[in-house]
Amino acid sequence: MNIIVCIKQVPNTSEVKINPETKTLIRDGVESIINPDDKNALEAALELKDKTGAYVTVLSMGPMQAKDALLEALAMGADKAYLISDRKFGGSDTWATATILAAAIEKIGKFDLIICGRQAIDGDTAQVGPEIAEFLDIPQVTYAKKLELDGGKIRVKRFCEAKDYEFEVGLPALVTAIKELNTVRYPCVKGIFKVYNNEEDMIEVLTFDDIVVDASQIGIKGSPTNVH
């Protein structure tokens, strides 16, 4: 089983500042962390790995410093990481981000399950996971608080507006995780050693030239969102 987890590196603060000229987030000088919901997404994948031997790939689009988030995910137990990074991707809104991530997933190849966090603590839109599912034309279940594998299907308990909903979905599919899904593990010493000795092999950088994506759909020009 191949599982892809999308993780976003975010500023460790809820007081996000916006550059008044570019209308994008100011990230300089703020400590960066893995977006909290994305750690629940990763934990869910690692629990499936513990049970079934699944292969877990983590994916992040961002500047080169997002490598730190990938290193942490690998130290927690992921098998392979891809950093999707190119100046042409800068300024991408959720539409363009999901376009790029979906193209990167198609480049990486076969997958059974994609797990995203519900929502990033900086952008906060909760749009990227559902958009990736739409672009890849696969079913999605958002706000998962329970996730079980049952043969070629998954059973997902979705928590939304104070109610639980149960879904059974064929694979491949995309799920977005909420914090109630699990308790996130810490990286272990063995994992940290493995990653720092094999960083070059375990993290691959994909640029614009590596993926098949329509240039008019990415970056500032390909972003239909306007920030006022």
Tokens of 62: 């961002």
Stated length of the chain: 228
Any contact of residue 120 with ligand FAD (CB under 6 A)? yes
When CB distances to ligand FAD are compared, the closest residue is 123
Among 106, 112, 127, 208, binds ligand FAD (CB under 6 A): 127
Among 3, 34, 38, 141, binds ligand FAD (CB under 6 A): 38
| Cα Rg of the chain, angstroms | 17
d(CA 39, CA 100): 21
Tokens of 35: 């977006």
Q: Could you identify the residue written with the tokens 């691959």? A: 204
Tokens of 94: 């959720």
Compare residues 193 and 220 and give the one whose CB is closer to ligand FAD.
Answer: 220
Among 117, 172, 191, 222, binds ligand FAD (CB under 6 A): 117
* Angle between helix 94-108 and 128-136 (nearest 10): 50
| Residues numbered 185-224 forming contacts with ligand FAD, rule: CB under 6 A | 223
Minimal distance, residue 201 CB to ligand FAD, in Å: 21
CB-hemisphere CA count at 13 Å for 177? 28
Any contact of residue 85 with ligand FAD (CB under 6 A)? no
Any contact of residue 119 with ligand FAD (CB under 6 A)? yes
d(CA 211, CA 87): 14
Among 37, 43, 72, 86, binds ligand FAD (CB under 6 A): 37
Are the CB atoms for 210 and 107 separated by under 8 Å?
A: yes
Fill in the amino acid letter for 181: L
Any contact of residue 97 with ligand FAD (CB under 6 A)? yes
Among 4, 61, 70, 71, binds ligand FAD (CB under 6 A): 61
Residues 6+ apart with CB under 8 A from 178: 37, 40, 118, 143, 144, 145, 159
Compare residues 94 and 217 and give the one whose CB is closer to ligand FAD.
Answer: 94
Any contact of residue 116 with ligand FAD (CB under 6 A)? yes
Among 4, 8, 102, 114, binds ligand FAD (CB under 6 A): 8
* Residues lying near ligand FAD in the complex (CB under 6 A): 6-8, 24, 35, 37-38, 41, 59-62, 90-94, 97, 101, 116-117, 119-120, 122-129, 223, 225, 227
